[in-house]
Structure 1
Amino acid sequence: MEPLYFEDYHEGQRIDTPRRTVTDYDISSFVNLCGFLTPTFIDLEYVNRPEHYSGRIAPGLLTLSLAEGLVLSAGVTRGTGLALLELTPTWKAPVYTGDTIQTQINFVSKRLTSRGDRGVVRTENVVVNSKGETVATYASARMIKSKTFGPTSGEEN
């Protein structure tokens, strides 16, 4: 997909990212890197008990990170994104090893900043698994370049 400038976002716009399958390696790496060393993430006997889960689950923050990685891999902000300003997640269901997820990006609003060459774009993002179940939602705000971004003509560099 081509990168989107501030002007390219519009009402009713929805973009579906590529999909990604969550692997045991993804979960193990994240859990060890971040120190999520609790039975919920490292003890398969514990999580397989009927009162818990039916397999190894990904930490919610890993799901959020993978969802954002899918947004980036879609190319929407490649070369136009200046800053991630806000992420407000809500987790709806566990993501298990072997689940394939995708992020749906839904445009909410935009406003130009006082500089006039960039704006803030707000989206509501929905993370779904291959069964079509919503596993997480999150609002995001990003600073995005406008098509007039950069020094104006006649301005010294």
Structure 2
Amino acid sequence: MFSSTLVKAVALLLAATSAGARRACYDQTELLYCYNGEWDTPQEVDPADVTYIASYLRAYGRETRSGRLLNMKMDDAADCGEWSLYARGTALAVAKKVNMTYDSSVLFEDVANTIDGGTGAIRRSGIHRCGADGGSLGVVVNATHPTYALPSYVATGAKPAGIVIKIVANL
């Protein structure tokens, strides 16, 4: 009797941790990662194309008063889904849902800043630092942006987290 209970418990544990029930994507970190390591494939993207993509996404996001949102729901991006955002020349921007425990929603402005480090004079962060190699980075959110405090945003239950932006070769 004890062994059958143990077998059932192990079976439930295995079922809950199967790929279909994945809660987080552990193969993708939200830290800056450039595709230039020993086992990586440099993407050979033109930095000018990357800059253009960021500018385009920023302009797209600013087309509405409160800012346009990139929404990735758990059900729509199952199994750590990736969505193409925009391509230009040699480069493609991709959004990957990396936390399947909540719906994610971020401003396209924040996506653009994640790519190019922002529009200020000092651009410290951003995938642009990877140069032609391309790379990935969790969306750097401006948590003080008023959109994230709007009742309509809060009512969605989404969090401004759980999305990684990748710059890869546009093949």
TM-score of the aligned structures, taking structure 2 as reference length? 0.30
Q: TM-score, normalised by structure 1?
A: 0.32
Higher share of residues assigned strand: 1
The structure whose residues are more often helix, as a share, is 2
